[in-house]
Amino acid sequence: MDKTRDFFDQLASTWEAESFPPETRKKLEALVETFEIQRGARVLDAGTGTGILHPLLLRAVGETGWVLAFDLSYEMIARAAKKTAPASLLCLQADSAKLPLASDTFDHIVCFAAFPHFADQRCALQEMARVAKKDGQLVIAHLMSRAEIAHHHDSHPSVAGDHLPEKGRLQRMFSDAGWRAMEITDEPGQYLARANKK
């Protein structure tokens, strides 16, 4: 966990410029629209990084909703907090396996480009289920396929081995953690795993 946190702390200052050029940001807009977030929703942005999704999530929830974002990396979350500070957005440093949040709180949980880096993925799924409302939605999303993510991460020693579980294993992990009705889209340029709390 310390290795992962240190890795992202070191990259925080250049993360968005290098990882999200303008053409990628356009893809993000289309991606977030598929999450079907309703006005007034309470959204948890799990592993937010520097908050690349914040403007899109805030637009989706509107004036009556709010977004809470967390990340393990202090440098990442500090940059996310500085970008915009409406009353409807809160950023905090937290571990996905020990969320300092009340149970049954969120309508939507969005985990974009972060789940492979969670040290204890099973526990993270359990914690996200705990803080989700009944029937609340979880989306794990990437702008790469599972295979593309594995290849990309394995080219960096600090995150080598940070992979998405294969489909059957992830489905079992979801079910064991309290999620149901899971569906997975895994294709070049996109990965989406969706589920609702039991």
The answer, yes or no, to whether residue 1 has pLDDT greater than 70, is: no
Report the CATH fold assignment for 2-197: Rossmann fold (3.40.50)
Query: Distance between CA atoms of 58 and 40, rounded to whole angstroms?
Result: 10
pTM value > 0.85 = yes
- Mean per-residue pLDDT over the chain, rounded: 92
pLDDT at 158: 84
The distance in angstroms from the start CA to the end CA of the chain is: 29
Residue 105: left if φ>0, alpha if ψ -120 to 50, beta else—which one? alpha
**Which of the pair, 12 or 50, is modelled with greater confidence?**
50
**Which of the pair, 176 or 20, is modelled with greater confidence?**
176
pLDDT tens-place string over residues 128-173: 999 999 999 999 999 999 999 999 999 888 889 999 999 999 999 9
Which percentage of the chain shows pLDDT scores above 90?
A: 78
Neighbour order of strands in the sheet with 106-112 = 89-93, 66-71, 42-46, 106-112, 132-142, 190-197, 179-187
Question: Taking residues 39-64, what's their average pLDDT?
Answer: 95
The answer, yes or no, to whether residue 18 has pLDDT greater than 80, is: no
The answer, yes or no, to whether residue 16 has pLDDT greater than 90, is: no
**Short-list 197, 15, 22, CA closest to 114:** 15
The answer, yes or no, to whether residue 85 has pLDDT greater than 70, is: no
For the chain, how big is the Rg over CA atoms in Å?
Answer: 15
pLDDT tier, 61 (very low <50, low <70, confident <90, very high otherwise): very high
Query: Distance between CA atoms of 109 and 163, rounded to whole angstroms?
Result: 20
The answer, yes or no, to whether residue 13 has pLDDT greater than 90, is: no
**For the ranges 20-24, 93-97, 147-151, 178-182, which has the lowest average pLDDT?**
20-24
Residue-range domain boundaries for the chain: 2-197
Which percentage of the chain shows pLDDT scores above 70?
A: 97
